[in-house]
């Protein structure tokens, strides 16, 4: 007897309901799903941080109740896809979300490519790939072979202005297509108060030269990002040393894993992170949607 799988897409109304339904599925591949966990964690602690519209969730299950996929979106930001092992699940999800306003989608390479194709076919929009990225995971830091001059510290109130400025600079450089930060000063304030994120700075001769954030909690870990050094201070190992220090600090705080995303178009950063002990997990792509 051949069993044909029937799929059901549900739309949980709260992050708690979403994690109750899909948390086990996401936790089976925690590294791959660190962004979904991290955004969910932020929604739980500061639900109004992303914008005026409530977050959107979707969970796909088969007729036996086995979870096959999960997604979330915090408008006006992109949809984030979980790992999906069956093309039929991707198709069901794209059909269920065809009425949603989705500016773009981020997810594992194969499933996100199919989702983009199916969703644009259903909506009449077009898709273009914007970023090709890779998820890394680390359990033990390898100290830099050539530590940078200076030392690291956690951000303080006196850093508010430079944090706000660098957060804007990072967004403009790394993701110019993303919505702008509405209130950089307030975002810097949350870093200083350690709300959802710990901020780290590298100082060399009393000059602040690099910034790293750590946030987006998962059941057993946390994600590093953003990592930013102004152009005039690059090439001196500051970001590498600060990333190593921030990663070790998070492990010292009890994290089992530390994750990060890299841009595959930047081979230098990928090489640096691997030298620190970060190991590749999977590749993820980001597509942006536009009117035809």
Give ranges for CATH 3.40.630.30 in the chain: 141-276
Q: Which two tokens stand for residue 161?
A: 């202005």
Going by pLDDT thresholds of 50, 70 and 90, the confidence category of residue 52 is: confident
Q: Which two tokens stand for residue 140?
A: 């033990």
The owner of tokens 């998070």 is: 250
pLDDT at 50 (0 to 100): 81
Distance, in Å, from the CA atom of 16 to the CA atom of 32, rounded to the nearest integer, reads: 20
The owner of tokens 């998820």 is: 135
The owner of tokens 């930060």 is: 181
pLDDT greater than 60 at residue 3: no
pLDDT at 109 (0 to 100): 97
3-state secondary structure of 229: coil
* Averaged pLDDT, 6-19: 97
Q: 7-133+287-291 has which CATH code?
A: 3.40.630
String of b and e for 160-177 (b: at least 16 CB within 10 Å)? beebbebbebbbeeeeee
Does the pTM of the predicted model rise above 0.75? Answer: yes
Going by pLDDT thresholds of 50, 70 and 90, the confidence category of residue 176 is: confident
- Selecting from 3.40.50.720, 3.40.630.30, 3.30.870.10, 2.30.130.10, what CATH number does the domain 141-276 have? 3.40.630.30
């Amino acid at each position: 007897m051949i069993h044909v799988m029937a799929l059901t897409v549900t739309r949980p109304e709260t992050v708690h309901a979403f994690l109750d339904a899909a948390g086990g599925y996401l936790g089976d591949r925690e590294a791959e799903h660190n962004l979904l966990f991290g955004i969910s964690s932020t929604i739980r602690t500061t639900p109004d941080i992303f914008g005026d519209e409530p977050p959107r969730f979707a969970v796909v299950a088969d007729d036996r109740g086995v979870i096959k996929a999960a997604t979330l979106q915090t408008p006006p930001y992109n949809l984030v896809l979980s790992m999906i092992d069956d093309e039929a699940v991707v198709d069901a999800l794209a059909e269920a979300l065809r009425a949603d306003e989705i500016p773009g989608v981020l997810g594992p390479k194969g499933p996100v490519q199919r989702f983009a194709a199916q969703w644009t076919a259903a909506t009449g929009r077009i898709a273009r790939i914007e970023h090709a990225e890779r998820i890394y995971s680390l359990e033990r830091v390898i100290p830099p072979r050539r530590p940078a001059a200076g030392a690291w510290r956690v951000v303080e109130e006196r850093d508010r202005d430079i944090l706000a400025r660098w957060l804007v600079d990072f967004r403009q450089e790394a993701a110019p297509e993303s919505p702008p930060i509405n209130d950089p000063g307030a975002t810097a304030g949350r870093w200083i108060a350690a709300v959802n994120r710990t901020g780290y700075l590298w100082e060399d001769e009393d000059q602040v030269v690099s910034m790293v954030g750590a946030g987006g909690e998962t059941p057993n870990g946390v994600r590093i990002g953003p990592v930013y050094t102004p152009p005039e201070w690059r090439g001196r190992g500051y970001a590498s040393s600060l990333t190593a220090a921030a990663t070790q600090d998070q492990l010292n705080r009890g994290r089992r894993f530390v994750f990060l995303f890299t841009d595959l178009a930047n081979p230098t950063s990928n090489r640096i992170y691997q030298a620190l002990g970060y190991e590749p997990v999977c590749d993820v792509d980001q597509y942006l949607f536009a009117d035809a």
